[in-house]
Structure 1
Amino acid sequence: MLKHFTLFLIILIISPVFTFAQSQESEPVISYSGSPRKYEIAEIEVTGIQNYDPKILVNLSGLAVGQKLNVPGEEISEAIRKYWEHGLFSSVKIKASKIESGKVWLEIELLERPRLSDINYYGLKKSEIETISEKVAMMKGSQVTPHLITRSEKYITDYFVGKGFYNTEVRVVQKDDTTKANNVYLDITVDKKEKVKVKNLEFTGNTVFNDSKLNRTMKKTNEKGKIKNFFRTKKFIDETYKEDLIAVIDKYNEHGYRDMVIDYDSITRNDDNTVDIKINIEEGRKYYLGHIAWIGNSIYPGEYLGAVLRLKKGDVFNQKLLDERLFVDDDAVHNLYMNNGYLFSNIQPVEVQVYGDTIDLEMRVYEGKQATINNIVINGNTKTHEHVVRREVRTKPGQLFSKQELIRTIRELSQLGHFNPENIQPDVQPNPEDGTVDLVYNLEEKANDQIELSGGWGAGMFVGSLGLKFSNFSVRNIFNKEAWRPLPTGDGQTLSLRAQTNGKFYQSYSFSFTEPWLGGKRPNSLTVSAYRSIQSGVSDSYSNNFYSGYGGYGYGGYGGYGGYQNIQFDESQIDQHMKISGLSIGFGKRLTWPDDWFSIYAEMSYQHYDLKDWRYFIMQNGVSQNLHFKLMLSRNSIDNPLYTRRGSNFTIGVEFTPPYSAWIDKDYKGLYNYTITGDEETSKKAQEQLYDLIEYHKWTTQGSVFTPLDKAEKLVLMGKFEMGFLGYYNEYVRSPYEKFMLGGDGMSGYSMYGSQTVGLRGYENSSLTPRNQYGSYDGNMYNKLTLEMRYPLTLQPSAQVYALAFLEAGNAWSDFQDYSPFDLKRSAGVGVRIFLPIFGLMGIDWGYGFDSDLTNPNQVSGSQFHFVIGQQF
């Protein structure tokens, strides 16, 4: 017996075998027999793994060939622990396959955790599944580990708790995939239960504000079953509840109650899945500002800084207002320093004395040195040439830093239209050591060229349209073959081309080119345009279906046809026509006075009219020429041309022709009478002489103001007014053209007739335009008011979408004695706008007209739909 035991002991010492095995439920257990001995690793082999490189797996263990270690010993245990820490394996074993001459051959047996074939969700909507899947981020083919399952359960639970489903239950079941070895399905079942809502919200200890005011302050925690909370959320979410408590504290602090505290608050769960909330308030006393002293200021005197602060002794102590006047507002005290180069300045308000209900403040100012701009770096302009960007940058190397000029630069870059305005991010990099600052403008190019290609068939004819607008064109690279990708771009010029025709019945062609920096040194713009349209009496038969598909190219709106019906016409209509040819050249200049938001634009235009039996004007036959001049003064400070959040845009303009009737010796009164009393032939000849040279003066003004209504500056209120007046030099030579056509979508095809269309939603196109005794449109003056609320749905570069609600009122008149500025036609409605880079701005509005129009004076206009292409109201 002793002999057998001795032999067994020798075998254990010479040939030790050590293993480690663990299931997913138990901790590692090391099992071995015999005394540890030091060996050199001769070879390491990894088995049981197919999807990982064996060399990498060996490195994970921390073991290496040539290494000396105790067998068994700490090195083996540590290697096993490292494998388990990675969580990728469901079984780990390390054993000695061979020991010889002081060396050991190690075999590492690993079993991978199963991989994911698919996830099945139960109890969720499609939109919820999409959101959850994106956040859980468990990809097919990835390994399924206990950590990932636990993380998924926690995320899903937290997500729905954040939505008010406090009792959400999540269950994850793992099932084998019988079609793939070592693959599993995950079935995730979510039971959201019902949302937890607020049943009762009670305040105690409050005397300054009643319960109703405090409840309105808590915007996201509201009692259910109350009419006043019909449009407010009633669900209870712990995170937003805590935010509302802070809002209550801020409410008191803004009114001087700086000692106010929430003594306690309790949340009681009810059996009907609701909660009762009770909040006890200690209001404290009301505090007022005492003496305000300025310390450390040498650039600006304390009296001046106090005037900028706009807070004085005796005012209610409002910490929020104090911070805004010191640091936040555009005209805040600190910005006064920042706009004068003092980038490193700081202001520290210190309460130096509190006596009774009064607090004395000491404003400790650290001015520092002025910072000079060193480097200006432009990033992200992959298509737009750098000189186009730099000429809009108002922060120049060598200048003093100015926060105001930095913000203005962001606005100017947004106005270019070549970059995504939502992602223009300046990076201010101060260098206190040498008193300089580097400015980096990170830009994101966006597509802003537009194309229109459409066609239609109706009444036996085809109508086709082709419109191209290149907003970042480069004329100087036209002959550079390498620049055609597919067109020469990058210099910020605008080239627009458009053609529309259905053969001999209707044709329209237009061209426009704008150079925003004529000569390249100053922001003086040059615009040249030309157009030609031919319309017969046949196309006039389709006037009810006619609309302008053109807009925003800078020179009017020469439109096309919409849907057609089988309207009959005769050959005489083909001979009726209106032909218009036009040329214009304009020059724009940015001004520095009264401030540098102003600009002026001057234009000279020539139009040639050829009419035959055309019934829309007093003049129905003959040729007219219109040489006119336009002068326009504008001030534009909006921050974003697509979705404007703040700023204003005001324009006043005058358009006039020479007063020919004062220079030419002609019996204008007699000719006018002949147009009325003469026979058809006499009337035609009188028209040709009376209107051969068109004369008028035209005055227009409009303004719009944009104001954000929330802290995120998403909800925006836009107010706008418009006015127009068409006058004459001689009462017998009133212009038959340039009338105001009020009503509808503002895109009527009558813009081609030499008139200005003005939209008023809720009414038919031109239905608010008065007519004269000849049946022709005769809108010589108009007023219009608009109030519009906007909210963005998405502001991504690929598509910008916002919803709107509007109130509008306006009217048009023929004669000045009939002018009544308060006799306005009213409407209201909702709409949506979509901006797609390649197609431009599009939209649809539904409006309801509360008053009658001129076509149906005995009934209200009622419900109307309007489509918008390429323009805004």
Structure 2
Amino acid sequence: MSSSHSSGLQRAARSARLVLPLTFAAAALTTTALRAQDFEGKTISEVSIRYVGPKTIDEARLRNSMSTSAGQQYRTEKIDSDIKSLYNSGLVEDVRFLAEPAGDRVKLIAEVRTRSTIGGVGFVGNSIFSDAKLAKETKLKSGGILSDSSIVDAKRNLEKYYQGYGYPDVAITYRMQPTAQSGVADLIFVIEEGAKNEIRKIRFEGNTAFTESELRKNMKTKEKGLLSFLTKSGRFETGKLDEDMESVLDYYRSHGYLRVSSPGVRRDPVGDGRVDIVIPIVEGDKYTVAGVGFGHMSVFKPEELYPALTLNGGDAYSSKKMRADITMIRSYYGSRGYADATVTPDISDAGPNRVKIVYHVTEGSRFRVGDVHIEGNTKTKDKVIRREVPLKPGQYFNSVDLDVTKARLQNLQYFSDVQATGVPGRDGYRDVNILVEEKKTGSIGVGVGFSSIDSIVGFINLEQTNFDLFNPWSFTGGGQRFGMNLRLGSSRTDFSLSLVEPWFMDRQLSLGGELFYHDSNYYSDYYDQKNIGVSTFLRRPFGEKGALKVEYRLEQVSIDLDPSVAVLSAKSVLAGGPPSQFLAEQGDFIRSAITGEYVYDSRDSNLQPRSGEKLSASLTVAGLGGDVDIVSTSFQGQKYWNLWGDSILSLNGELAFADALSGNVPIFDRMFLGGGRTLRGFDFRDVGPRDAATGEVIGGRSLAYIDTEYTIPIIENVRAAVFYDMGFVNSGSWDVSPNDLYSDVGIGIRVKLPISPLPLALDYAIPVQVPDQKADKGGQFNFSLQSQF
């Protein structure tokens, strides 16, 4: 509130009308004066904005931070909320609301002094980097608002930039310099660069329980290495180094060393601007847990919580497990509406090198969900966000669902940042505040690329993941997914047009459809395949992590044999062998099929999973008219573990079968292995039963494969991988005998590109087990975008 409130009241008392700053709840001006609360409940006739000083912010932007408007009833707490909101917006330096009678109504005046705008950014004291470079790093723009938050962010950006280049002691202050233009100021940063330090070695003193190598793995700060120009190793930030030391100490505490300590990080100069980082460790004794108990509780009984504890009597003390147990206890309470529940661990000695842990819970009150407020969405409709929020007004407040809300909104890939918080509302309620920062959701891609299947490929992709069919010209904000793709390669021509409505009829029911045309001659040297048709599907969630999908697909499949097949078949017959099986595949086929699929997905991300699993089971029946009469089924699974150092272990596999209800299983419904997505040590579709006449893989009716992959981070957005794949394809239906088992081993790299959310996978694999030597072509390179969907 402004200190000018008293003078405002005095001016109001001298005037013919009554003007009351609303922060004074009961300020009597004269014997006939009204008090501020006398306006309570009256209808607001008008809300006007009065500028004190230069007008640097449009009224519309100020009103976006105000909930009070004409026609509403005057409420003191709502005005106070608007004052806070205006200050928090960073747009104003000072604000006060004035009120005056307007008949039986009340008129409000918001008197504001707005922030100055940025005229320019200057620097004093910098010698390492130019003014232009530093100005770019501030991320400030001329004409922007000089808010406290923007200045602090700019200062932090500069400090991080200097520290990233080895100047850990940089100190930055700032001042504002008025310009000749009213309401415009220059921002001047004063920089003390300090001396450059590069980390030669990171050493520990006093450590006996763990090696230096084990302890360094817990630090983000790294020694300077050969690839420091890429990894930026050898550079450090003082704040990050303090975090690293705490991370090392916590590693000790998580392995029983409750009393571990350190006098602090030391920097030992070794010349040429290089230093050794030395971290002394006082390990202390290793402790075990004598027992775990709970203080007084009324909502839960200890017996309900004990089975969920990870730290129990007899275990080595672990700060990591204790934090997990505290989170678990709070989640138990939060799921029942006790949003303010707090858990305090009491650790007491229970004999030599033994401790007892007692969790004291302050339960607080139980809350219901009040209002759900959404801010920051300028394109996305409110309902698109609101339907992803499991917290509904009137229900008991569930703090766990705040995390669910954030995860769901992040998985939409519409927003660069999502915040979901519970804040006090009216008595007995918690309001939900959702703040999003939108990002670009549409993309147009035109270019030429390379593929391990068909070498050179040109493409045109048009995608909008936040599409709105009913918002002409803009076509954004409705949460639909639209895609149009054209690919022209030396071995393919693909075109597709798709649209998905994930909330059909405002229910959790996805409706989608696709028109497609695929002309492919990379499947085999002996035939080309063309698919043209349409598909539509419905998808409904079952439980929190499951979904059932039903799809109908109608297409014409054309198989065009190469003339050499007839020649090779005739030669085989003349030699006493069988004719080519490919001869029966020639022609056009109408395929009318319906597929039912159930998917369970508990992965923490669908782009780069680190934990959880995805399991699916599907059944396809073709024969609803048309020329193809088969049944096929598939069972797929993915499992992920996040291990030390952010390494990831994954398993991925499939078991599938196809059988003919009448006639034969056509080649386009048979199964193959080999290539970048299955057995990476073999050519694409080069594992399976072969045609005797041509020697080409003809495909099987039973398939199984599994791959194991382990990746570790190298630098930001780059991971190294090692993997092992194995599998088989059998000619008979429902045949799971692994008599002809193929396997390979390999290494790879995963690179997250700025132009795609999916990482680029580059792999090299060599065959290990090869029952059919025709499939052994030596080591294979494969590269593709690694989709985990």
TM over 0.5: yes
1:645-672 Cα offsets, whole Å, 9 max, x none, are 5443221212233599xxxxxxxxxxxx
Q: Pick from 200, 203, 206 the counterpart of residue 205 of structure 2.
A: 203
Per the alignment, residue 658 of structure 2 pairs with 727
Per the alignment, residue 389 of structure 1 pairs with 385
Contact 1:466 1:500 in 2 (8 A): yes
Per the alignment, residue 690 of structure 2 pairs with 771
Contact 1:783 1:821 in 2 (8 A): no
Q: Pick from 602, 608, 615 the counterpart of residue 550 of structure 2.
A: 602
Contact 2:168 2:238 in 1 (8 A): no
The question of 1:624 aligning with 2:620 is answered no
1:490-518 Cα offsets, whole Å, 9 max, x none, are 3323344456789xx99765443323223
Per the alignment, residue 582 of structure 1 pairs with 533
1:585 to partner: Cα distance = 2.9
Per the alignment, residue 528 of structure 1 pairs with 513
Contact 2:508 2:541 in 1 (8 A): yes
Q: Which moved more, 1:803-812 or 1:300-309?
A: 803-812
| Paired AA for residue 441 in structure 2 | N
Per the alignment, residue 151 of structure 2 pairs with none
Structure-2 change in CA distance of 1:814 and 1:612 (3 Å)? same
Per the alignment, residue 827 of structure 1 pairs with 746
1:197 to partner: Cα distance = 2.9
Structure-2 change in CA distance of 1:854 and 1:867 (3 Å)? farther
Distance 1:708 1:446 in 2: 28
Distance 1:803 1:316 in 2: 33
SS in 1 for 2:584: coil
Per the alignment, residue 380 of structure 1 pairs with 376
Distance 2:267 2:445 in 1: 60
SS in 1 for 2:668: coil
Distance 1:772 1:119 in 2: 78
The question of 1:489 aligning with 2:476 is answered yes
Distance 1:490 1:588 in 2: 21
1:223-280 Cα offsets, whole Å, 9 max, x none, are 9999xxxx99678987666555544543443344434444798766556877678877
Distance 2:486 2:736 in 1: 42
Distance 1:807 1:292 in 2: 42
1:437 to partner: Cα distance = 0.8
1:405 to partner: Cα distance = 1.7
Contact 2:163 2:236 in 1 (8 A): no
1:297 to partner: Cα distance = 0.4
The question of 1:411 aligning with 2:404 is answered no
Distance 1:608 1:372 in 2: 56
Per the alignment, residue 452 of structure 2 pairs with none
1:194-231 Cα offsets, whole Å, 9 max, x none, are 735349x4634x66x165577547747899999xxxx9
1:776-787 alignment runs, 5 A limit: 776-780=696-700, 781-787=703-709
Contact 2:673 2:729 in 1 (8 A): no
Contact 2:672 2:729 in 1 (8 A): no
Q: Pick from 448, 455, 466 the counterpart of residue 472 of structure 1.
A: 466
1:308 to partner: Cα distance = 2.8
Structure-2 change in CA distance of 1:706 and 1:378 (3 Å)? farther
Distance 2:342 2:447 in 1: 60
Distance 2:589 2:784 in 1: 33
Distance 1:266 1:452 in 2: 51
1:693-732 alignment runs, 5 A limit: 693-709=627-643, 715=646, 717=648, 719-729=650-660
1:573-617 Cα offsets, whole Å, 9 max, x none, are 9xx98654433332211112xxx2111112232333344545594
Contact 1:769 1:854 in 2 (8 A): no
Contact 2:743 2:769 in 1 (8 A): no
Question: Matched residue pairs, number?
Answer: 610
Contact 1:853 1:860 in 2 (8 A): no
SS in 1 for 2:409: helix
Q: Which moved more, 1:715-724 or 1:240-249?
A: 240-249
SS in 2 for 1:444: strand
Distance 2:615 2:394 in 1: 34
1:764 to partner: Cα distance = 3.8
Distance 1:440 1:158 in 2: 30
Per the alignment, residue 84 of structure 1 pairs with none
1:87-109 Cα offsets, whole Å, 9 max, x none, are xxxxxxxxxxxxxxxxxxxxxxx
Per the alignment, residue 52 of structure 1 pairs with none
1:398 to partner: Cα distance = 0.5
SS in 1 for 2:666: coil
The question of 1:436 aligning with 2:429 is answered yes
Per the alignment, residue 63 of structure 1 pairs with none
| Paired AA for residue 295 in structure 1 | G
1:366 to partner: Cα distance = 1.8
% identity of equivalent residues: 21
Contact 1:198 1:236 in 2 (8 A): no
Distance 2:248 2:443 in 1: 50
Q: Pick from 441, 447, 453 the counterpart of residue 440 of structure 2.
A: 447
Distance 2:492 2:255 in 1: 69
In structure 2, the gaps of 5 or more residues are 1-52, 55-119, 143-153, 173-188, 450-455, 566-580
The question of 1:650 aligning with 2:602 is answered no
Contact 1:830 1:847 in 2 (8 A): no
Distance 2:298 2:258 in 1: 32
Distance 1:138 1:817 in 2: 63
In structure 1, the gaps of 5 or more residues are 1-54, 57-114, 141-151, 171-185, 457-461, 478-482, 547-572, 661-691, 746-757, 795-800
Contact 2:311 2:318 in 1 (8 A): no
Contact 1:122 1:189 in 2 (8 A): no
1:164 to partner: Cα distance = 5.3
Contact 1:215 1:222 in 2 (8 A): no
1:130-209 alignment runs, 5 A limit: 134=136, 195=198, 197-198=200-201, 201=203, 203-204=205-206, 209=209
| Paired AA for residue 594 in structure 2 | F
Per the alignment, residue 305 of structure 1 pairs with 305
Contact 2:766 2:778 in 1 (8 A): yes
Per the alignment, residue 515 of structure 1 pairs with 501
Structure-2 change in CA distance of 1:442 and 1:629 (3 Å)? same
1:557-572 alignment runs, 5 A limit: none
Per the alignment, residue 343 of structure 1 pairs with 339
Per the alignment, residue 254 of structure 1 pairs with 254
Per the alignment, residue 813 of structure 1 pairs with 729
Structure-2 change in CA distance of 1:624 and 1:426 (3 Å)? same
1:671-690 Cα offsets, whole Å, 9 max, x none, are xxxxxxxxxxxxxxxxxxxx
Structure-2 change in CA distance of 1:693 and 1:131 (3 Å)? same
1:807 to partner: Cα distance = 2.2
Per the alignment, residue 20 of structure 2 pairs with none
1:720-742 Cα offsets, whole Å, 9 max, x none, are 41224333247972333223343
Per the alignment, residue 789 of structure 1 pairs with 711
Distance 2:265 2:712 in 1: 38
Structure-2 change in CA distance of 1:580 and 1:708 (3 Å)? closer
SS in 1 for 2:300: coil
Contact 2:196 2:273 in 1 (8 A): no
1:390 to partner: Cα distance = 1.7
Structure-2 change in CA distance of 1:375 and 1:250 (3 Å)? same
SS in 2 for 1:434: coil
1:343 to partner: Cα distance = 0.6
User: Normalising by structure 1, what TM-score?
Assistant: 0.58
| Paired AA for residue 589 in structure 1 | R
Structure-2 change in CA distance of 1:853 and 1:386 (3 Å)? farther
1:784 to partner: Cα distance = 3.6
Per the alignment, residue 322 of structure 1 pairs with 322
Contact 2:462 2:483 in 1 (8 A): yes
